[in-house]
Chains A and B, each alone.
Chain A
Amino acid sequence: MRRLNLCSLILLVLLISLSIRASSIAPLAKKPFEGITIRVLMQSGHTAAGELHKEVFEKFTGAKVEIIGVPYGAMYQKIMTAFVTGAVDFDVVEYTYPWLASFAKYLEPLDDLYKGVHKTITKYAPPICNETGPGIWDPKDFLPLLLDLYCKAVGPDGKVHYYGVPEDGDVHILYYRTDLFEKAGLKPPSTWDEYIEIAKKLTDPKRGIYGTVLMLQRGYEGFLGHFIARFGAYGGKWFDEKMRPMINSTAAVKAVLNLVKVLPYCPPGVLSYTYTESMRDFIKGKAAMAESWVPDYYLLGNDPKISKIVGKVGYALMPAGPAGKVCPLVGGWALAIPKGLSPEKKRAAMAYILYATSRPATLRATLLKTTVDAPIPANYKDPRLLKAAPVVKVEVEAFKIGMGVPKIPEWPRLWDVLSAKIHELLTARVTDEATIKKALDEVALEWYKILKEAGYYKS
């Protein structure tokens, strides 16, 4: 009996100690988003960054993350159709700011996040990032200029709200081949006229080298970048103070003319080029100059696995107009949450966004050459990034002087009309200013009709 009691006592002690151990382990093993799946809809070119964030986020939170890549060209209509039909099959959505005016009413306002509520949510986000050290999400990290541009829009209540968090700061700069420029005794062009002269000098079709490479597929975002860089530099503005189109101004005519004049010094087929073809031609050594996003061509151009121009990639701000104005396109992407998620999903989606846009996570993504770099000035000063991609030094400056596109729901339609017309002029190699002006007059009239139909003019 005594033996039995002793055994019982030992068993009891063992059980108690095991239960204490188990209860001390349980909170550690329990991850906050176990069993929750978050579907993240991203532009195909950004999924590499998404996959990096997914890896860490899943490990720390227990959530399952599905990254869905959609080509840029199909993205707007896919998201918009999903919103309008109610067939939303994603929990986090990446958008570029010109679309925000159309998307706002379908997105969850994130004002609380910017008022400090994020501190209660960041505890769910992964606290560390091995390569880049600790750090939590802080709205003060972002360049204020871009925070407003990327994330603020008028909501259905007629008030301005925050709807997203900046994820990728995009601005166009000029890339050039240092070896070709040195050999020819040239400096990067300081004006758009000089740009054409240099492109002409460096074009040598026999060696398969062209003066510059552009992204001129109709409707493509890069095409918009090439137009804005010239349009803005020549002093162009989209609208007057009464919102009447100014797309037929002298600045617009000169911008189109400059594009037409540079065509002979671009690779054949450039009128159907997108980012892929432009980047490919530049890093394969087929173009002396390129206009594209920071820091993509620098990172990819210095990647020995894919590039033939390692150590030969120079960069500069875009050339200026006659009055010295430099005006690169400011693009950029943000992450947002669609309306209608369950509270658990919403919390998980929010935590994912906070992690994916936090300073350490975005720095890691840029260092690992995903071409996604958040507009966080502290990142641009990080010695590791400055060593890997010194090109980011010009990024903040480019953001400050750059030009964006109007944040109105009609913008995709306006751009479609404009790009189709410019594409026709480029295809026909029109150099007569009067003909260009006439074509742009038609665009201005069409823009006016679209805006009138949308109720911009009360009379």
Chain B
Amino acid sequence: MKVLNGKGWERNLKYLLILPSVVVLLAISIYPLVYSLYLSFHYWNMSRTSSMDGFVGLLNYISIIYDKDFFNALKNTVIFTVSAIPLEVGLGLLLATLVYRAPFSSIHKVILILPTVLPPIAVGVMGRLILSTEYGVVNYFLSLMGLPRVDWTGEPLWAMFSVILVDVWEWTPFCFLIWLAGLMGIPIQHYEAAEIDGASEGQIFRYIVLPQLKPIFLTILFFRVIDSLKLFDVVYILTGGGPGTSTETLSFYIYRVAFRHFNMGYAAALSWILAIMVTLTASFIYNLTYRGGE
């Protein structure tokens, strides 16, 4: 071993092997990240000049405090997150319990997870077609029942509801899949022991299943919260942030500032605020999981 370690090229081989990954990571992840931080301290109106105009210090960050549109987008993002995630997690658990207990075939399970594997843009387009006021299938069934057609994407409340509905449709299967994996990981002996001790089904679920699913719950929460805070595609396709700004989420607002206003420095500052929010939330959930694991 000593002989091998003594050779310089062999000692450095490990660095050489990870070098390609590090270079790629630096080029496509670290560099843009550092550049965006640098950009966030500058003014750059891209529709006027093709390079940064000047250093403005913390001005972009201070401007966020006075930006009503930012707080509106933050409010919408929070409303969306606290509405969609409980539904996705709850429905996912319900589905997983049903599938775990009933003899569902692999085909059924694959069909159940289909919405999650679809590209988000396709999900948005399908949502738009399904919820179309005039030609959508949802309004068709409503009219068959004698109910009035709903302007799903044209009224603020319904528009937010539509975004939530489409997201729930897309991501419930993901939650279901993770829940199912968790359920399948509980040793059968735990159920048998509980049954021998005379526990009811409700008690088994409350005292055996739920505690063992806690890390699974936190894992689902971790992924879904991060994803919800970054929601963009469905909003872009389904409502375009409208009507007015009633479904404009943080990511969509950043896109608007960057690619419609071309105010790149401010958009970079907004992106960093979003990144900090996502990181803090993720760390909080991670810590909960870690403590739970202990």
Residues of A at the B interface (CB closer than 8 Å) are: 73, 76-77, 80-81, 83-84, 102, 105, 217-219, 267-272, 277, 281, 286, 409-410, 412-413, 416, 420-421, 423-424, 426-428, 453-454
Contact (Cβ within 8 A) B244 A268: no
How many Å lie between the Cα of A416 and that of B152 in the bound state? 23
The stretch among B33-41, B153-161, B285-293 that forms the contact with chain A is B153-161
The distance from the CB of A214 to the nearest CB of chain B, in whole angstroms, is 12
- B154 & A454 in contact (Cβ 8 Å cutoff): no
CB pair B47–A272 under 8 Å, yes or no, is no
B261 within 8 A of A: yes
Main secondary structure, interface of A, reads helix
Separation of A412 and B50 alpha carbons in the complex (Å): 17
Q: How far is the CB of A314 from chain B (nearest CB, A)?
A: 24
User: Which of B155, B240, B243 counts the most A-chain CB atoms under 10 A from its CB?
Assistant: B243
B43 cross-chain contacts in A, Cβ below 8 A: 453
Give which listed residue, A105, A218, A281, A410, contacts B242 with CB less than 8 A.
A218
Q: Pick from A73, A84, A270, A277: contact of B46, CB below 8 A.
A: A84
What are 14 A-B pairs at a CB distance below 8 A?
A80-B47, A219-B260, A267-B134, A268-B149, A269-B132, A270-B154, A271-B151, A271-B242, A272-B242, A412-B262, A413-B260, A424-B243, A427-B244, A428-B244
Q: Chain B nearest CB: distance from A456 CB in Å?
A: 11
Task: Say whether A413 contacts B149, CB under 8 Å.
Answer: no
Q: By the criterion CB–CB under 8 Å, are B50 and A424 in contact?
A: no
Complexed CA–CA distance, A416 and B255 (Å): 12
A-B contact count (CB 8 A): 94
Interface residue B133 (Cβ < 8 Å from any Cβ of A)? yes
Chain B residues with CB under 8 A of A102: 47-48, 262
20 additional A-B pairs beyond A269-B133, A423-B242, A424-B244, beta carbons within 8 Å, are: A77-B259, A80-B46, A80-B262, A83-B50, A102-B47, A102-B48, A269-B151, A269-B152, A272-B153, A272-B243, A277-B134, A409-B45, A412-B262, A413-B47, A424-B245, A426-B244, A427-B154, A427-B155, A427-B246, A454-B48
Q: Which residue of A lies closest to B51 (CB)?
A: A84
Given known contacts A268-B151, A269-B134, A413 and B261 CB-to-CB distance under 8 angstroms: yes
Cross-chain contact B154 with A268 (CB below 8 angstroms) = yes
B92 within 8 A of A: no
Q: Does B239 contact A (CB under 8 A)?
A: yes
Chain B nearest CB: distance from A290 CB in Å? 15
CA distance A217 to B244 in the complex (A): 9
B256 interfacial by beta-carbon distance below 8 Å: yes
A237, B186: Cα distance in complex, Å: 71
CA distance A217 to B151 in the complex (A): 13
Which DSSP category, helix, strand, loop or mixed, fits chain B's interface? loop
Q: How far is the CB of B209 from chain A (nearest CB, A)?
A: 44
**What residues of A have a CB within 8 angstroms of the CB of B134 in the complex?**
267-269, 277, 281, 286
- Residues of A close to B127: CB separation below 8 A: none
Q: Is the CB of B45 within 8 A of A454?
A: yes
B244 to A423, Cβ gap below 8 A? yes
| Chain B proximity of A103: nearest CB distance (Å) | 9
From A219, A269, A410, contact of B154 by CB (8 A): A269
The reply on B241 being an interface residue by CB < 8 A is: yes
Interface string of B231-247 (1 = CB under 8 A from A): 00000000111111110
B227 to chain A, nearest CB (A): 23
Q: Distance (Å) between the CB of B73 and the closest chain A CB?
A: 12
CB contacts (< 8 Å) of A267 on chain B: these are 133-134
How many Å from the CB of A380 to the closest CB on chain B?
35
Contacts of B156 in A (CB 8 A): 427
Q: In the bound complex, do residue A77 and residue B260 qualify as a contact, i.e. CB atoms below 8 Å apart?
A: yes
Give chain A residues whose Cβ lies under 8 Å from the Cβ of B153: 269, 272
Assembled-state Cα–Cα distance A102/B244 (Å): 26
Q: Considering only CB atoms, which chain B residue lies closest to A270 in the complex?
A: B154
Query: Cβ of B261: which chain A residues have Cβ within 8 Å of it?
Result: 412-413, 416
Asked if A271 meets B154 with Cβ closer than 8 Å, knowing A84-B46, A105-B50, the reply is yes
- Are B262 and A272 in contact (CB-based, < 8 A)? no
Q: Which residue of A lies closest to B128 (CB)?
A: A272
Contact with A along B41-81 (1 / 0, CB 8 A): 00101111010000000000000000000000000000000
- In the assembled complex, the CB of A209 is this many whole angstroms from the nearest CB of chain B, namely 13
The residue that A217 contacts in the complex, of B46, B240, B260, B263, with Cβ under 8 A, is B240
* Closest chain B residue to A267, Cβ basis: B134
**In whole angstroms, what is the CA distance A409 to B263 when docked?**
12
**Nearest chain B residue, comparing its CB with the CB of A78:** B259
- CB-CB contacts below 8 Å: B150-185 with A: 151-156
Residue of A nearest to B135 (CB): A280
Known contacts A84-B46, A272-B154: A416-B256 contact under CB 8 Å: yes
Residue pair A271, B243 in contact (C-beta under 8 Å): yes
B154 touches A218 (CB 8 A): no
CA gap between A412 and B46 in the complex, in Å: 12
The 10 closest A-B pairs by CB, nearest first: A269-B133, A424-B244, A77-B259, A427-B243, A271-B154, A218-B242, A409-B47, A413-B261, A102-B47, A423-B244
CB distance from B59 to the nearest CB of A (A): 11
A81 to B267, CA, bound (A): 14
Please indicate the chain A residues that have their CB under 8 angstroms from the CB of B48 in the complex.
102, 409, 454
- Chain B hits for A271, CB < 8 A: 151, 154-155, 242-243
In the complex, residue of chain B having the shortest beta-carbon distance to the beta carbon of A427: B243
- Other-chain contact of A218, B46, B132, B244 (Cβ < 8 Å): B244
Nearest-CB residue, chain A, relative to B43: A453
In the complex the two chains form, is A416's CB within 8 Å of B260's CB?
yes
